[in-house]
A and B are shown apart, each in its own frame.
Chain A
Amino acid sequence: MVGQQKLDSLFLYGVIYLIFIYAPVILIVIFSFNDGIYVAFPFKGITVKWYYDMMHNAGLGKALKVSLKIGVVVSIVSTVFGVLGAKAVMRYHMPGIKTIVFLIMLPLVIPTIVFAIGLLMILTKFIGLQPTTWSVIAGHVLLCVPFSMAVMMSRLQGFDKNLEEASLDLGQNAWQTFWRVTFPLAMPGILASFLLCFTNSFDEYLIAAFLSGNDATLPVYIFSQLRFPNRLPGTLALGSCILMISFAIVTFAEWMRRKGVNPDSGMGI
């Protein structure tokens, strides 16, 4: 049957596609348990010593701390900018609003390497500062604000403007209205934005490599370790851990975004 055959080839395509995407990821997880330093079959035996090594690696712990610090600061700053920007764009009429949004969203498509070089030049040549953790934060905020704006704009779009007006009408001023109506209803979006910015910052390599100075972030540290063959299994273990945590965070963010309070549920019939 022609129909059946078509379906089968499509199915095959799907399977190949999935293998192509996930084979590398699965290989990392598998070989992180391999009792040997070379990533090659046959399997030497199962061990968790790489995980044990990883836990007691001082350099890695330091890099992890740097990355966490950068991630938290970046996600807070970006989300604040994103909320305020999205609220301004969605609620107020201003001339040139489309151009403004376009300029804010542009970093999404500009190659990060361009930003990294530009930021390094400005920092060292024009301002005369040395790269630090703070310069990485600045660079990451630049990259994360568009993500946050996009999430918040879509959240506010499905948000009945009358709710804010009703709050004003019932005697709450603009500030009280923001905290009692806008903020709670935007909360799932804010959480989603926070987590999205965090994961984005956490695994960003280029800006971190150019701007982190002596305090390497986790991705930068991992890459530096790949020169030593005996360190490879340790990074595989680390990669597996990051994979699991990222997966959990993104799943949670998406779940929050969908769940939350449906902003439309109070509206008409």
Chain B
Amino acid sequence: MTANDSFIAIRNLSKHFGSVKAVDDISFDIRRGEFFSLLGPSGCGKTTLLRILAGFEVPTQGEVLIDNQPMATVPPHLRPTNMVFQNYAIFPHLDVKSNIAYGLRKKRLSKEETARTVNAALEMIKLRGYGNRRADQLSGGQRQRVALARALVCKPKVLLLDEPLGALDKKLREEMQLELRQLQRSVGITFVFVTHDQEEALTMSDRIAVMSRGRVLQIDNSARLYEAPNCREVADFIGTMNFIDGSIAATENGYAVIDAGRVGQLKAPRGDGGFQRNNRVTLAIRPEKLRIEASRPGNGGNFIAGRLGAQAYLGDRSHFYVEVPGLDRRIAVAAQNVTRNLEFGDNANREVWVSWPVESGVLLPAEDA
């Protein structure tokens, strides 16, 4: 990334609460007009980082630049950022109109201009005619939109969103995800979006920073995070992943042969991890890239033998869990139910073979290395 690309620059940023390092020496850049997500489990520091951007938390160390302006001495009310709070924080003593107009006060617009802006905002969030309602007369989705409009009328350089969809039910959440994405494209404002929901992050973001224990593990687009995680923690957090530990027995061209103990010898692309012979590694494979068969598959690709432990029918797909001698965790296999099959038999304890093409595996450094 060149310096020109950097719209929000985060440099060696740390925030300590007593002995807890909520944000631990983080540095990265967010581009102009990007939908950028901070993804991680609760307590990973993503909300603290967002609150530092908004100016509600003072960093212990490091600095933040927004559009080349250092933010260290800028108080929240003077920052070019606006925030959509997790619980929306709609002012309960004001109606919808006054809530949306709240951020326009400092702009000292005329009455007519304020009214026009507010009406345009109500139009945008499809709540025309709701201007005189109070917060407690709105549904969750409507409050969410009001909070969004209230922040956007201020025309911030950066919109900060703290799990804004967390309180909505699943259907509405998916709807709002699309709407939010469309809105971001049309207004062209940089969005920084905090979420613990990996599916939500994958659906909406241009790029995602996966965080854990105050650090950033990987920053990439959705496809790369899913298909090419750079460590076991990212691989485990995003989607479901099977792991097989072993060490590299040999390397040939772009491939590595992994000695996985009782599981046998497996092949995988070497990737750009610079793995050498005898390196301890973890081979990661997604469940949907695996095939499950009753008989030993032909040559080519990897295969391991096991015993079917459990299976689950999910409608569009089925999950199989295969016990493999030598592995702690059962291998998960996801199969699309392509054909109609009304007889979902219980095949527990059957001997099965799990196979996958060599290219489907990802080599990761072993966790304790």
Contact = CB atoms under 8 A, between A and B. Distances in A.
A162 B87 contact: yes
Contact of A166 (B75, B83, B106): B83
Chain A CB within 10 Å, residue with most, of B85, B139, B154:
B85
Given A268-B87, A269-B167, A168 B92 contact: no
Nearest to B139: A269
B275 interface: no
A8 interface: no
5 contacts: A160-B89, A165-B83, A169-B54, A261-B92, A269-B140
A170 B154 contact: yes
Nearest to A177: B77
A30 interface: no
B56 interface: yes
Interface in A220-269: 261-269
Given A170-B151, A172-B102, 18 more contacts: A162-B85, A163-B91, A165-B83, A166-B83, A170-B102, A170-B105, A171-B77, A171-B103, A173-B75, A184-B93, A262-B136, A266-B88, A266-B90, A266-B136, A268-B86, A268-B88, A269-B167, A269-B168
Contact of B105 (A160, A171, A263, A265): A171
Interface in B71-114: 75-78, 81-83, 85-93, 102-103, 105-106
Contacts of B267: none
B105 to A, nearest CB: 7
Interface of B: 54-56, 75-78, 81-83, 85-93, 102-103, 105-106, 134-136, 139-140, 143, 150-151, 154, 167-168
Interface string A147-178: 00000000000001011011111111100000
Contact of B89 (A166, A171, A261): A166
A268 B167 contact: yes
Interface residues of A, number: 25
A86 interface: no
A163 B89 contact: yes
Nearest to A159: B92
B93 to A, nearest CB: 5
Given A184-B93, A265-B135, A167 B102 contact: yes
B132 to A, nearest CB: 16
A155 to B, nearest CB: 13
A185 interface: yes
Contacts, number: 91
Contacts of A181: 91, 93
Contacts of A166: 83, 85, 89, 91
Contacts of A163: 89, 91-92
Mostly, the A contact residues are loop
Nearest to B136: A265
B87 A261 contact: no
Interface in A161-207: 162-163, 165-173, 180-181, 184-185
B83 to A, nearest CB: 5
B7 to A, nearest CB: 19
A160 B102 contact: no
A160 B54 contact: no
Q: Which 10 A-B pairs have the closest CB atoms?
A: A266-B92, A170-B103, A162-B89, A265-B136, A266-B135, A171-B106, A166-B89, A268-B87, A269-B140, A266-B90
B88 to A, nearest CB: 7
B76 A169 contact: yes
A93 to B, nearest CB: 10
A265 B140 CA distance: 12
A267 B85 CA distance: 10
Nearest to B134: A265
B105 A172 contact: yes
Contact of B77 (A160, A169, A267, A268): A169
A266 B103 contact: no
A103 to B, nearest CB: 26
Given A171-B77, A261-B93, A265-B136, A165 B85 contact: yes
Nearest to A260: B93
B106 A185 contact: no
B92 A265 contact: yes
Contacts of B102: 167, 170, 172, 180
Contacts of B85: 162, 165-166
A167 B82 CA distance: 10
